[in-house]
Each structure stands twice: as C-alpha cells, then as structure tokens.
C-alpha cells in the first residue's frame, strides 16, 4: 500500500471534551503501511484504546461525530478477532500515573496515499482515544467505553 501519490506525512492534535489539548500524533507513510507515533498527557491513568475513526469530525462532548472505526474492508473488530481487524484497530496505549503515555506502531492496513484504505478518503478520518482498554475482540469497539479525546487527521507534506 505504498503512497506514490499523496502526502508522506500527516498529523493531529487530540483534544478532550473541554477542548484542552491532550496529545499529538504523527503519521508517516512507509512502504508497508503507516508509522504512527502518539504522545498524550493529562489523561486518566490506565490502559486506553485508540483507533482511527471513519469521519474527520471531532465535536465534543462525546465525539460521536467521528463515526465508527475506519473499516473499508468491512471486517469485524479486534486485532485478535479471526474475522478482523478493522483498518483503524490498533494496540492499546498505557498512561502512567502522571497522565502521560506514548505509543509507536506500524499500521499495515492504512495508507496516506490513494485508495480505499486512505486516511484521506472523502470526509476524512479522526484519531480517537477511549476511556477503557480495547479487548481486541468485541464488535463494534472492543468494549472500550466512551470517547475521551479526538483529533482530525490532517495532511502534512
């Protein structure tokens, strides 16, 4: 899924329901997918799900405007689901007692380029953090609970 056409990078600022900035994420096209680097702060300690959602809208307080998980291949939810995963499913992030957390991963199911798995399809996409951990199996969202932060994914260079 290399991106011959399209941006090589993307970014987002994550905000909570009060509009406060709680994190950033960068996206870099790689030959085999997209490298995603996430840094968060001021979040509740514990394990949290984070996913790419199918609509580039983040309206507080519940961020439901971001739609469901990005799922162009119509799969079931979860990295451990034999009928999955959604393109937007990713491993959980751990947030320390200081409210800070980091994650770095390669998502092989998305691209910054063109095509059905592009993060820049019509309507865009968003990165969403949930209040609880993802169980990696249960449709539609892994029992991850409410959405606590959201950011629209924007094209870089």
Does the pTM of the predicted model rise above 0.75?
yes
Q: Architecture of 9-155 per CATH?
A: Sandwich (2.60)
Q: How far apart are CA 143 and CA 100, in angstroms?
A: 22
pLDDT of residue 3: 44
Contact assessment for residue 148 and residue 128, using Cβ atoms and an 8 Å cutoff: no
Contact assessment for residue 27 and residue 119, using Cβ atoms and an 8 Å cutoff: yes
Tell me the domain boundaries of the chain. Answer: 9-155
Q: Who's near 130: CB < 8 A, 6+ residues apart?
A: 48, 49, 50, 51, 141, 144, 145, 146, 147, 148
Q: State pLDDT tens for residues 75-121.
A: 999 999 999 999 999 999 999 999 999 999 999 999 999 999 999 99
């Amino acid at each position: 899924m290399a991106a011959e056409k399209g941006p090589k990078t993307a970014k987002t600022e994550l905000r909570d329901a009060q509009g406060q900035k709680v994190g950033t994420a960068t996206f870099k096209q790689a030959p085999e997918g997209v490298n995603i680097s996430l840094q968060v702060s001021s979040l509740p300690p514990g394990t949290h799900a984070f996913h790419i959602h199918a609509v580039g809208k983040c309206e507080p307080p519940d961020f439901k405007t971001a739609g469901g998980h990005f799922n162009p291949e119509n799969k079931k939810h979860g990295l451990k689901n034999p009928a999955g995963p959604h393109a937007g499913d990713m491993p959980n992030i751990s947030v320390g007692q200081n409210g800070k957390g980091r994650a770095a991963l390669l998502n092989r199911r998305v691209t910054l380029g063109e095509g059905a798995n592009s993060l820049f399809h019509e309507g865009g996409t968003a990165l969403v953090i949930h209040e609880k951990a993802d169980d990696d199996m249960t449709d539609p969202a892994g029992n991850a609970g409410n959405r606590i932060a959201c950011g629209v994914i924007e094209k870089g260079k």
